[in-house]
Amino acid sequence: MGYCLNFGLSNRLSNIVLSYNALRYIICIASILFVSCSVSYNAEGDYSYLYNRQSIISPEFKIYHSNQDTTEIIFKINSADLIYSRPSPDASYQSKFTIHYALYESLDSKFVVDSITKQIIDINPTKKDKLIYGSIKFPFEGEKSAAIKITTVDQHRNQEHKTLMIVDKTSYTGAQNFLTIEKGRSMTRPYVTSNEMIEVRSERNKGQRFMINWFENGFGISRPPFAINLSSTYEIEPNEQHEFAFDSDGKALISLPAKGFALIQKDTTDKDGLSLFRFDVNYPKVSNATGLAEPLRYICSNSEYNGLMESENQKLAVEQFWLEKCKSKERAREIIREYYTRVNDANNYFTSHVEGWKTDRGMISIIYGKPVSIEKRSNYEIWKYGQGGSYQSPSLSFTFYKQENPFTENDFQLKRDYLYKPGWYRALDIWRAGRIYKAGA
């Protein structure tokens, strides 16, 4: 990844953006290898892999309830993450990977109640990069919830990726009852980039009328971890409101304004719904000068930040900011690469009703780095930092509690404490001295 600013050299800001090539080929899916219902002990203890970028493969998943008795795992994976080979000299290049899921009664449960492994073979004669889409259906009756752990393995290189998701079928209006189609492809993430009409499907809501509430993003960024913990408020008035209906097949076409986010609900008294976001077109990647400047709010003084935001040439102002801190182009390139990789990762993992870097977990991950271990339960996460034998008694830990947020299920708020203040300013001093800060290192 190239996070190098120009500094008068030939490297361009566009190096920050990592984009996928156009789709050109279709997927070839093999049959299910095995299905099993079992009861086995879940020895999972550390969930730090959920927010870990070390895996080469990076699939995306979306849970969709296609009817009362069936649920689907919609998946997307970049062929560039996979190894392709020829089974024989006259055969086409192909990749082989498996997707395995294990279903638990809840996130806190220690027992697997169902599992499936599916092998996918993708034929790609020219080995050109593309996106591979598909779905896995499994029986799941309505009005209950569960936790699902999904493991993806590239069989040619034995590279593994794991993720954990909540399956929630307790209502007809939650986000998992909707599937969004953009440019003919099922969306695995709620980030709309097209200016064209978007298709929304909901087989469980055929013929039903819904509301679209449109909001211009008016939420701020996280406050320091020692600041007073303000109560969350999500009661904001929409800038626009429209009504639409799903047809007899459970389909509807909608259009969205250029920036902000939409909340699709049965009515305004609902506690949940489907949110669709219009961030920058390349989101969650940092892709423009404003995207570089805004996340510096955590380490800038007020005057520095105002200067960056008011500058007529934000890109040049950001370059100068880092050069002044780092004293050399080489060190600046290194710290820029790490800082904005952390910003991108925060957007990847922690986006809720705001960009991921603006959230509490995003703030902590940017300033302190990745935790050594994560304890995760249904309503909270504990991030632990430390080294060596201190893992069991970490030198630093942060607790994030899940919030009841009508826009998203991914909103966690930090339990703030004044005791974090000295360590916070120590971390900022290190960043401002032109060095990368890693808590516990």
Summarize pLDDT for 306-357 with one digit per residue, the tens. 999 999 999 999 999 999 999 899 999 999 999 999 999 999 999 998 999 9
User: Is pLDDT at 24 greater than 60 in this prediction?
Assistant: no
CA–CA separation, 184 vs 198, rounded Å?
Answer: 9
pLDDT tens-place string over residues 208-219 = 999 999 988 768
Residue 430 DSSP SS3 = helix
**Residue range 25-165, CATH number:** 2.60.40.2150
383 and 50 Cβ atoms separated by less than 8 Å: no
Residue 350 DSSP SS3 = helix
pTM: 0.86
Range scoring the smallest mean pLDDT among 12-16, 213-217, 432-436:
12-16
Top pLDDT among 247 and 48 is at 247
Q: What is the DSSP string of 197-249?
A: -EEEE-GGGTT-EEEEEEE-----PPPPTTS--PPP------SEEEEEE--TT
What is the location of CATH 2.60.40.2150 in the chain?
A: 25-165
Residue 196 DSSP SS3 = coil
